[in-house]
Amino acid sequence: MKIGLFILLLCIFTGICYSENPNNILLQDSTYIIRSKEQYLIELNQKMNESIRWEKYDLEKKHSWAALLWSNFMPGAGHFYYGNKISGVLFAAGTTGSLAVALIAKSEETKGAGLSAFTILHLSDMIMAMVGANNYNKNLKKKYNLIITHAYNNDYISIKYCYDF
């Protein structure tokens, strides 16, 4: 009971001290940092700009699973999804052409070759669409100067968002 009362008083006291502090003193890494209102507003503006860039990134990013599904149901469509029209046309033409060869061919060897080519092109189309969507997202992060870093420790994993000027 005494410990709970002590913690409550400590929370109230630190809240009052911080709210009455005109210089906005923060404790960070066992050292005091004094920030002026101007510095605080600059940091707040930078955080808001970073938040806006992350929102733009979230709106424009392409999902690799969606590119996979598009390419699975319609050859080349996954490449169109993330914006690469040339590879989309090439995969669509190659996959459709090899399937047409397999269906029209009269000899069993030509049908087998056409089906083999269709299978290889279709699987390659789906895999390359996923890779292309991931590369699109990496380039989008570079466009908005967003970098995600991570650090491993035995006890925890930390993730940090950074951006370059």
Q: Are 95 and 121 in contact (CB under 8 A)?
A: yes
53-96, pLDDT tens digit by residue?
888 888 899 999 999 999 999 999 999 999 999 999 999 999 99
Return the pLDDT at 127.
Answer: 96
Higher pLDDT, 129 or 24: 129
- pLDDT band for 18, please (50, 70, 90 cuts): very low
Return the pLDDT at 76.
Answer: 95
List C-alpha distances in Å: 130 to 51, 62, 71, 92, 141: 27, 10, 9, 16, 17
Return the pLDDT at 43.
Answer: 81
With a cut of 70, say whether residue 4 has pLDDT above it. Answer: no
Asked whether the whole model's pTM tops 0.85, one would answer no
Instruction: Report the 3 state secondary structure along 6-24.
Output: HHHHHHHHHHHHHHCCCCC
Return the pLDDT at 22.
Answer: 47
* Structural domain spans, the chain: 51-165
116-149, pLDDT tens digit by residue?
999 999 999 999 999 999 999 999 988 888 866 5
With a cut of 90, say whether residue 17 has pLDDT above it. Answer: no
Return the pLDDT at 37.
Answer: 75
Cα-Cα-Cα-Cα dihedral of 79, 83, 86, 91, to 10°? Answer: 10
Q: Which among 12, 5, 34, 10 has a CA at the least distance from the CA of 21?
A: 34
